[in-house]
Chain A
Amino acid sequence: GENVEQHPSTLSVQEGDSAVIKCTYSDSASNYFPWYKQELGKGPQLIIDIRSNVGEKKDQRIAVTLNKTAKHFSLHITETQPEDSAVYFCAARGGKLIFGQGTELSVKP
């Protein structure tokens, strides 16, 4: 069936460093790839998304890249801050929206 694999499961960085989270998907018909951020005690919230006709999208300190041939996409966070600490989920939609397993990002001051 459709599957999204996300790595790493945990990531610890120093404040100011960059963080990269990677996802791969199995359904070649997938055409929409959102990223959600879940802060402690809250539900996930959309932070950025990309569609299959675009290779890269940037919004201030966050960027997403998509490689359709390899069926993988990544989230890049630059100049990390303590408030970036959260669980991040990637997702891919072909028929249904399928979420990855989540990455717990910890940014140490």
Chain B
Amino acid sequence: DVKVTQSSRYLVKRTGEKVFLECVQDMDHENMFWYRQDPGLGLRLIYFSYDVKMKEKGDIPEGYSVSREKKERFSLILESASTNQTSMYLCASSLDPSGLLDNEQFFGPGTRLTVL
């Protein structure tokens, strides 16, 4: 079974702190994604990566950056956390090197981040 793991289930940080959310997948997937989930807004794509060291902005990239130094690991970085970044963060991966197929996305369990 594909497994996507996220470094923390719950995280509490203070405004202005630098925050790292880590995601690891064990199925050699090419694509990795970071979403945030908010009530009434569904899942919104922050960033995605289709290869090592490659990244693309999603729909809401402002205030975030990402890093993909290894194929299995995709990190989300909040350079200076703000209270409006309090949310559930979901990482996902999928297998599709060509980007032409509609492959299932496999999600991690999520990290609930609270910024005080």
Chain B binds chain A: yes
Contact mask B68-109 → A, CB, 8 Å, 1/0? 000000000000000000000010100000000010111111
Minimum CB–CB distance for B2 against chain A, Å: 10
Chain B, Cβ-Cβ closest to A90: B42
User: Given A32-B102, A93-B102, are A45 and B107 also a contact pair (CB < 8 Å)?
Assistant: yes
Minimum CB–CB distance for A16 against chain B, Å: 29
Is the C-beta of A61 less than 8 angstroms from some C-beta in chain B?
Answer: no
Once bound together, how far apart are the Cα atoms of A4 and B42, in whole Å?
Answer: 10
Interface positions of A (Cβ within 8 A of B) = 4, 6, 9, 32, 34, 36, 41-46, 49, 51, 89, 93, 96-97, 99-102
Interface positions of B (Cβ within 8 A of A) = 4, 35, 40-45, 58-59, 90, 92, 102, 104-110
